Chain A
Amino acid sequence: MRGLRKYAFKFFWGVFVLFIMGFFLLPLLWLVTAPFDAKATLRVAIPSKFTFANFQAIFRNTFAVRALFLNSIVIAGGTMLGVTLFATLAAYALARLNIRGRDILAYLLVLFSSVVQGTAAMVPIFLLLFHLKLIDTYPGVIFVLIGGLLPTGIFLMRDFVAGIPKSYEESALVSGARPWQVLRDVLLPVLRPGMMVLAVWSFVQAWGDFLISLIVMRSPAKMPAPIAIYSFYTEGGTPVLTLVSAYSLIYALPVVFLYLFVNWRYGFRFFGGIKGGGR
């Protein structure tokens, strides 16, 4: 009887896992079949006319290529560096300094950031950047994105940092290391996995940004990929499926590679949780 229950349990587990795999995989299939089909439709099918011509057409559109391989990378990369660096520093400071009400502050900031990332804040951001002479510049977009992502970034890092026992720093200091040495040799390696996750997360957020770039950028030479994808629409405002699917695929790949790399090298996990336990 016990064996039957165990068997049934395993069976349901297997069904569940299969279902989950299918659930996450199926919607993505179109992105890997349609770009290779000369007559792409919304169907997922083995391409009737297998071709790389869609990609060739994409690469002829220099505006879109530049958007993806230059602009998106600069914007997402800059944001990633800024958020990772500043959020880690701030999270560490918050975790180690005993500032009163820091928890509430963290929550409030996350709350406020949600307003600013919406469309309502479009105009003040535009006006602010205009007065700072940052319209149509990479730093303009990057700064706004950093500002919007920092609160959540700090929030995510905070738990991670808080989970690192002070004993690491204490013992290093006791053995005579100067503070900045402690930072570099002890803390950084320990913080690194969390920073990697933060880096991926912030890169991904910035990589997908549409609204801020639309407001800030003016020259087509600086527009990132989500805006450039509209150049593959017809005059009537409908997407040309062959081109749009190919571009979407190329646009999706960098973040996938980034994730796979970080996952392989550092392990992509969250490290928050209960203090005082082994890992």
Chain B
Amino acid sequence: MKRVHYLAVISLGLLIGVSCLAEPITLTVTSRAVRGGVNTQLVEWLEDTVFPAFVQWMKGQGKDVVVKFIPFGGSDEELKQQYALDLKVGRGADILGFDGFWIPEFDAAGLVKPLDEIVGPQVWDWDGWAYIPQGMREILGYKGKVYGLALGTDVRVIFYRRDLFEKAGIIPPGSGLRWQPRSWEELLNTARYIKKVLPDVIPLQINAGTDMGEATTMQGWFMVLLGTGIHMYDFESGKWYGEHPGILDALNFYKTVYVDEKLGDARLQLISGGRARTFELFRDGKIAMLVEGDWFWRSVLAPGSEWAIPNRNEVVDWAMMPAKEPGAGYRGQNFVTISGGTGFILNPNTAHPEEAWALMSFAFSREMQLEFQKIEPRIRSRTDVPVVGDPVMSEMARALLQYTTVRPMLPGYPKISYQAQLMTERVVSGQMTPEEAMAAYAEALKEIVGPENVIVVKVK
């Protein structure tokens, strides 16, 4: 009896021991993507290309890994909330699809950490860093530290319908000439002309209002504000602009477009789901000029999308957003744009930091990134991964990356961005004059970051 007992214990122990050894490591990746739904290209790339190749590679090193993608089909805000809850209690996938400008507030709450703190200094041994310039590192960076890797970055332009421009006679048909305004006045004059000649068409639509969220700040507010010569934040002094003639000029631009001359349809900016309507109207040729990000080109208008334009290369063209006047833009530029970016970070709670980092760096290797380019060509963070397969994207990158800037990566940014959206909303809806809206904005800023961090330059 005793011997059998002995045997049972040993075999049980062996079984457990062996199963522990043989236990494959499971890595999970999550992002706002669902196969067949939102961001399906990301899922396809990861599950069909990256994961199998990675598992293979790991096997070659004698490690048994299983990689799973956990889809999330809700909104960005819901995903952010899930992350906040999960990270707070030490859960969550090993690799998280993250928007760069969430990092400051998550870091301030102690929920995320820089890569080298999670994995160790060997993170810097990766050869990919040589191809990721400082600007790209900052997309998922904060206070000089790097938290993850960006899937790419983007720029913003004025998209316009060539066919409407040709119809209006702004571009001689078949000439191949491209339209490029050099100042706000030229831009507005084009809009006014279209309004006169093509009365059924909305000449210019530029984002405003709180419904479109960050899209308003990025595609709308920044594009106009940067043209007046200032940013929202003064990087030198570390303070935010609360009142400034530039802000007033920008607000007056909005007022001209939406209130005074009705060059744009204010209603679209104020109703729920207005952004989708602008896509629809642009597709149907009812909006002549739409200021949007390159995502609009590569995703919204792309073949197979809901708002796809079949002959998009013929009827859609783009122009750079001009400063108020040549040389009056941010950093003395003639043209302005701004870039954002999303990517992946490592979960500080991960049980397998080294393997997770191996997966992440693998996904961002040149080969894997080129594979992604085949599915979704865009501006990637690696300099050795050019935009392929889409000359329009390449041209945008070439023309605009020199003019671009980024949002200030600070915990207070999301709230201040919201105040800027609110400010535009108040002006566009006619609720407040630009002066009143700016005053309210400055007041709100003082509450968010403290009056000592707000710059007030009185307008004479």
Contacts and interface: CB of A to CB of B under 8 A. Distances in A.
Contacts of A130: 89
Nearest to A60: B36
A95 to B, nearest CB: 40
Interface of B: 34, 36-39, 70-76, 78, 81-82, 85-86, 89, 91, 273, 275-276, 279, 295, 299-300, 305-306
Most chain B beta carbons < 10 A, residue from A214, A228, A237: A237
A48 interface: no
Given A126-B89, A231-B73, A236-B275, 14 more contacts: A61-B36, A63-B71, A63-B73, A123-B85, A126-B85, A127-B89, A214-B74, A218-B86, A220-B73, A230-B78, A231-B71, A235-B38, A236-B279, A237-B76
A215 B276 CA distance: 28
9 contacts: A61-B34, A126-B85, A215-B85, A230-B73, A233-B73, A235-B295, A237-B76, A237-B275, A238-B279
Contacts of B71: 63, 220, 231
Nearest to A242: B306
B322 to A, nearest CB: 26
A221 B306 CA distance: 27
A228 B276 CA distance: 20
Contacts of B75: 230, 237
Contacts of B73: 63, 220, 223, 227-228, 230-231, 233
A137 B142 CA distance: 35
Nearest to A238: B276
A220 B70 CA distance: 7
A235 B34 contact: no
Contacts of B279: 236, 238
A234 B74 contact: no
A182 B85 CA distance: 49
Nearest to A214: B78
A127 B89 CA distance: 8
B36 A240 contact: no
A233 B275 contact: no
B305 A231 contact: no
A271 to B, nearest CB: 40
A228 B300 CA distance: 22
Contacts of A238: 273, 275-276, 279, 306
A219 interface: yes
A250 B26 CA distance: 35
A157 interface: no
A135 interface: yes
Contacts of B85: 123, 126, 215
A155 interface: no
A63 B69 CA distance: 13
Contact of B34 (A63, A123, A127, A219): A63
Nearest to A57: B36
A92 interface: no
A232 interface: yes
Given A63-B71, A227-B73, A234 B38 contact: yes
B37 A61 contact: yes
A43 B34 CA distance: 28
Interface string A190-230: 00000000000000000000000011001110010001101
A218 B82 contact: yes
A60 B273 CA distance: 27
A224 to B, nearest CB: 12
A54 to B, nearest CB: 14
Given A135-B91, A231-B73, A233-B37, A240 B306 contact: yes
B30 to A, nearest CB: 9
Interface string A119-135: 00001001100100001
